[in-house]
């Protein structure tokens, strides 16, 4: 058994059936961190002693005949934005360099209650505010496929660690493609659930009881090396928790087993006005042809008649309003209530247009981002797409559209481009349809080849 690259579900089963111990599982992942983290800098806080203590307790519990949870003894890492009792949570920001929460966030608590063994935190963009994971506290995360390329952001450390076998899972945050883009860049899977599906409480440090600034468009979701793992982790962390009052009491369903012949898939190699690399557009078209050849109903998308550029601008404005309102000392001219309501009304139009679109389709297949992993650069510098300079700020547009509309979306690896870098494609579905969307991804997984280990790992 290749422990470091076994799936979460495989590890849990092996520990539960006493084929390996929780300590052996931890040994393998710590060895992978020790061997490769110096090169990619994905793991930035490591609780080696505490992890061994938790793994030993997990093994002792099984020896006593205790009923194991779904993650019993499975080691895992978390993006450095989740509040964790006894471990620093810095979001890469110097003011939080020594911040240690007094208790776990609901997501952390649920993963631990399921039996998971927290061992490490993973690197982020400063205050989660960029699509490269680089910050003044811990430096830059490199892509395990090519150290000269970015792992993406803001969940770049999470995606790189999962790809490199340092952890079987992580939980990222996604306000503007921040789970799906790094997952695509590193060749792993990443799910952004419907907005208000997973608790945001404790997912962004708020020392001193500061008001929670992030309430719209941001979502928490899993990164892993397969769809089954996404489904398992999603079911553990989703649903009302007693702390995030925005969470909807919608049932968290089990992923169904679906027949591709019964599915209606629409595809878009690009969105009007959004650039995309030719290899990515071609990957969308090729997968659409494969789906059609195995019996799915497949048509090129007639997308909702929306100004998607304007949607992105409005999404950015909403983020700015939320951050402004949460400042301890708001600016002299704070955003008016009428502007806030107008912004929400504009967003409603987009949500309803996409909901109507998904009345006719089980899923939309499209790009995750305009390019594969690009070379490290200063934020804001032009990004070359097929040799042509494109705006850095349009980089996450394909994913950010669905933060604005609140729809669930996931990134699936689908081969490599001409430079040998992973291509990630996006599947999007109707709101609250995570289970079905995951079932669609699972049905498609054999056609894409799934996760591939980066060379050298």
Burial of 100 from C-beta contacts in 10 A (0-12 / 13-18 / 19+) = middle
- Please write the tens of the pLDDT for every residue from 238-255: 999 999 999 999 999 999
Out of 6, 21, 45, 79, the active site residue is 79
**DSSP H helical ranges for 304-433:** 308-325, 337-357, 397-405
Cross-strand partners of 43: 122
Given a contact cutoff of 8 angstroms between Cβ atoms, the answer to whether 164 and 178 are in contact is no
- Please write the tens of the pLDDT for every residue from 31-59: 999 999 999 999 999 999 999 999 999 99
Out of 21, 129, 178, 199, the active site residue is 178
Query: Which of 456, 37, 457, 453 has the alpha carbon at shortest distance from 225?
Result: 453
Given a contact cutoff of 8 angstroms between Cβ atoms, the answer to whether 437 and 410 are in contact is yes
Q: What is the mean pLDDT of residues 157-169?
A: 98
Give the percent of the chain with pLDDT over 90: 92
Query: Taking all residues of the chain, what is their mean pLDDT, rounded to a whole number?
Result: 95
The pLDDT, as a whole number, for residue 214 is: 83
Instruction: State how far Cα 230 lies from the chain centre.
Output: 10
Q: What is the mean pLDDT of residues 351-358?
A: 98
SS3 360: coil
- Please write the tens of the pLDDT for every residue from 317-333: 898 888 776 666 655 67
The pLDDT, as a whole number, for residue 21 is: 98
**Where does residue 275 fall: left (phi above 0), alpha (psi -120 to 50 degrees), or beta otherwise?**
beta
- Please write the tens of the pLDDT for every residue from 196-223: 999 999 998 776 667 777 889 999 999 9
Residue 363's pLDDT band, with cuts at 50, 70 and 90, is very high
Given a contact cutoff of 8 angstroms between Cβ atoms, the answer to whether 128 and 91 are in contact is yes
- Please write the tens of the pLDDT for every residue from 365-382: 999 999 999 999 999 999
Q: What's phi and psi for 2, nearest 5 deg? A: -85, 90
Is 105 in the active site?
no
Q: What is the mean pLDDT of residues 161-181?
A: 98
The pLDDT, as a whole number, for residue 139 is: 98
Q: What is the mean pLDDT of residues 108-112?
A: 98
Query: Which of 359, 363, 193, 357 has the alpha carbon at shortest distance from 262?
Result: 363
- Please write the tens of the pLDDT for every residue from 273-282: 999 999 999 9
Is 178 in the active site?
yes
Query: Which of 239, 181, 173 has the alpha carbon at shortest distance from 203?
Result: 173
Out of 7, 45, 129, 154, the active site residue is 154
Longest dimension (CA), the chain: 63
Q: What is the mean pLDDT of residues 158-186?
A: 98
The pLDDT, as a whole number, for residue 336 is: 80
């Amino acid at each position: 058994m290749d422990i470091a690259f076994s799936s979460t579900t495989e590890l849990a089963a092996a520990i539960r059936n006493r084929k390996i111990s929780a300590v052996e599982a931890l040994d393998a992942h710590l060895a992978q961190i020790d061997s490769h983290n110096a090169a990619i800098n994905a793991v930035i806080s490591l609780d080696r002693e505490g992890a061994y203590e938790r793994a030993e307790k997990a093994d002792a519990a099984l020896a006593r005949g205790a009923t194991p949870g779904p993650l019993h003894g499975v080691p895992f890492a978390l993006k450095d934005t989740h509040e964790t009792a006894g471990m620093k949570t810095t979001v890469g920001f110097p003011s939080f360099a020594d911040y240690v929460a007094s208790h776990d966030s609901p997501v952390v608590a649920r993963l631990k209650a399921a039996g998971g063994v927290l061992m490490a935190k993973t690197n982020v963009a400063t205050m989660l505010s960029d699509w490269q994971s680089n910050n003044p506290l811990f430096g830059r995360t490199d892509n395990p496929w090519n150290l000269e390329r970015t792992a993406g952001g803001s969940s770049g450390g999470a995606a790189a660690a999962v790809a490199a076998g340092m952890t079987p899972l992580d939980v990222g945050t996604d306000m503007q493609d921040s789970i799906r883009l790094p997952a695509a860049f590193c060749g792993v899977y990443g799910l952004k659930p419907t907005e208000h599906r997973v608790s945001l409480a404790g997912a962004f440090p708020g020392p001193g009881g500061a008001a929670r600034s992030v309430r719209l468009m941001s979502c928490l979701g899993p990164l892993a090396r397969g769809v089954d793992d996404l489904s398992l982790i999603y079911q553990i962390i989703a649903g009302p928790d007693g702390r995030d009052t925005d969470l909807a009491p919608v049932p968290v369903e089990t992923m169904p087993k679906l027949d591709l012949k019964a599915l209606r898939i629409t595809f878009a190699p690009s969105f009007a006005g959004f650039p995309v690399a030719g290899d990515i557009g071609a990957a969308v078209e090729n997968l659409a042809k494969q789906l059609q050849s195995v019996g799915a109903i497949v048509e090129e998308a007639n997308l909702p008649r929306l100004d998607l550029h304007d949607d992105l601008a409005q999404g950015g404005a909403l983020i700015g309003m939320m951050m402004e309102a949460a400042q301890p000392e708001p600016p002299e001219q704070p955003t008016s209530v009428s502007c806030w309501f107008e912004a929400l009304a504009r967003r409603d139009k987009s949500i309803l247009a996409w909901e109507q679109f998904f009345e006719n389709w089980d899923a939309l297949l499209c790009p995750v981002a305009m390019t594969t992993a690009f070379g490290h650069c200063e934020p804001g510098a032009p990004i070359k797409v097929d040799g042509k300079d494109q705006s850095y700020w349009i980089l996450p547009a394909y994913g950010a559209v669905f933060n604005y509309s609140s729809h669930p979306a996931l990134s699936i690896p689908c081969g490599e481009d001409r430079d040998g870098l992973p291509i990630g494609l996006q599947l999007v579905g109707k709101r609250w349809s995570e289970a079905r969307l995951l079932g669609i991804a699972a049905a498609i997984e054999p056609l894409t080849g799934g996760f591939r280990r980066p060379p050298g790992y």
